Structure 1
């Protein structure tokens, strides 16, 4: 088997883009394609994500044919455990990728790239020319809070309160003050184990359902944040544990979307105000704000647009395997 990939990262969070060599995929929709890969090609996902060609925190994406009429490109997300329905650090890299590799013709000062993800279409705006090629913004899918104030009994921790919010995937949100953690790199390894335990315990008592598509109804990860920052600051640090104990190096795009929805539901974000989320490993930041209210099933979610001021770095490698 001969597979070529393009290696990118957003704020230190890697993205392995599979370009050629993947078998033909059946399915009319992107979600049907995921189901086909899971049943027929999952060994390739493991091959590219796991050691020795990958590592525990590897993240990847596969380009497929779009099934939405306005999409310029469509991508499936893969990781150490399986398949994701949204990844916004990947959207940032893929916006650049689509422009850099002429999938969409570059226009100054900003190029619109419509990227189809399993959860929907993401209008992505890539700044181009005049030294602004590292700037990118996009509008997420409808984001909403599924559950507020859920009491969860976590082994070795006890009863805690979590919130479940959606930003393309569902996250359980929990504050550091009930976990005995700080939102700092020094507590990252503890956060991985505790975040996984919170997610596992939450899955046992909460039925996570998306109001419009059952394939989107699953808990993807845990977001650990500082309650005092949430209430008093415009800059919030957060640690994101997802899949099988993966830790996001970036501020997390889908987590930003879900967090904006949660902050808005708590009455802590009004009008055109915005919040900025920062990685615990570097000074990279994602900024989110409410754009407009909308409906998603019986929920009244918010759309939010994130303006991400950063650089994505790329190297390209060819991998030959047998």
Structure 2
């Protein structure tokens, strides 16, 4: 029996849900009005200023949850882009999301956003707020598989930065950019283990670091002020030297939101940081494991480049995404909670 909503008043929103390494992605298919702006970054500003209620509808309860993540497809100003995307989460709008790029790559091929898919890989050009990201989707006999993507230029912004963290005193962090800025610190500094400690304790430590860095360190990006903000903190197991063994981390971003995946943009930033320190060489593959779920991405620096005055690298990240469902959401006009709520 096909289920249909009974007669109702209110706007409808349609989505396709996926996950990459356990991290959800809600791809918005319909229900948004026109997103105005000449560039993807200006569209990001527009939805933040004029359509933020729809982010809350889809990310917050009762349709979402504290750690939901979303992707809104918009038009790109770049002729080579197959699609452009804005990233949504519990606090607002990111500039890059690797787990979403992996899912969107597969989605774009399956939903015919790429007209003539090729075997063994189909290239999908995804215009993110941080720039054009090229994804490559395994494709054979009409079926999609794993995805790898090449990042925008990634670079170490600053290393061994001392900050005063409330409740922990002075700590030393590294700051690196992989489409978004992250602070990196070994979880052992807080007496924690990224794979064994309580998630609540890891969140508290990471959130305290994020708050300290935001208040004490001024970030800048060579191409746009819209990119110059700290997205979150990544706690690591400290295993940064090249090894065939996985290295684990857990990312706490936005409003203390926990990434279930190894974090694609975080892996990008971490590889750039390891390369900057001479701990990995070009094309040395590392496996990165999520401290939350145990899921894995691989990452490697593929070639050197620049970003303004920064020496940078392009990083390749690989992973797999899976479909979890298709949904139609409604905002009934008499529902007092139709705009969503967020329990902290």
Matches within 5 A, 1:201-212: 201-212=212-223
- Equivalent-residue separation in structure 2 for 1:69 and 1:133 (angstroms): 24
Instruction: State the 1:281 CA deviation.
Output: 3.3
Q: Select 2:32's aligned residue among 19, 22, 35.
A: 22
Aligned length: 320
- Report the counterpart of residue 92 of structure 1 in structure 2: 102
Report whether the alignment pairs 1:79 with 2:89. yes
Do the aligned residues in 1 keep the contact of 2:103 with 2:321 (CA within 8 Å)?
no
State the 1:320 CA deviation.
2.0
> Aligned to 2:19, what secondary structure does the other structure show?
strand
With the length of structure 2 as denominator, give the TM-score of the two structures: 0.90
Query: How big is the shift at 1:177?
Result: 2.1
Distance 1:197 1:263, change over 3 A: same
Tell me what 1:177 maps to: 188
Say which of 189, 192, 196 aligns to 2:200.
Answer: 189
- Counterpart of 1:56? 66
1:7-156 aligned within 5 A: 7-105=17-115, 106-129=117-140, 133-156=144-167
Moved over 4 A (4+): none
1:131 Cα offset (Å)? 9.5
CA contact (8 A) 1:276 1:288 kept: yes
1:316 to 323, 326, 333: 326
Q: In the alignment, what sits opposite 2:228?
A: 217
Can you list the C-alpha shifts for 1:210-268, whole angstroms capped at 9, x where unaligned? 111111000000000012x2236341100100000100000110000000001011110
Residue pair 1:10, 1:313 contacting (<8 A) in 2 also: no
Cα distance, 1:185–1:104 mapped onto 2, change above 3 Å: farther
User: In 2, Cα distance between the equivalents of 1:63 and 1:271?
Assistant: 33
Write the distance in 2 (CA, Å) between the matches of 1:276 and 1:101.
Answer: 30
Higher mean C-alpha deviation, range 257-266 or range 310-319: 310-319
| Pair 3,183 (structure 1): closer, same or farther in 2 beyond 3 Å | same
Partner-residue secondary structure (3-state), 2:240: helix
Query: How many angstroms apart in 1 are the aligned matches of 2:321 and 2:230?
Result: 30
* Number of the residue aligned with 2:4: none
Structure 2: unaligned runs, 5 residues or longer: 1-10, 333-344
- CA deviation after TM superposition for structure 1 residue 306, in Å: 1.8
Instruction: Report the secondary structure of 2:85's partner residue.
Output: strand
Question: Could you tell me how far apart the structure 2 residues matched to 1:283 and 1:271 are?
Answer: 26
Say if 2:291 is the partner of 1:291. no
Gaps of 5+ in 1: none
| 1:275, distance to aligned residue in structure 2 (A) | 1.3
Aligned mates of 2:322, 2:195 — CA distance in 1: 23
The answer on whether the counterparts of 1:145 and 1:166 sit within 8 Å (CA) in structure 2 is yes
SS in 2 for 1:262: helix
- With normalisation by structure 1, the TM-score equals 0.96
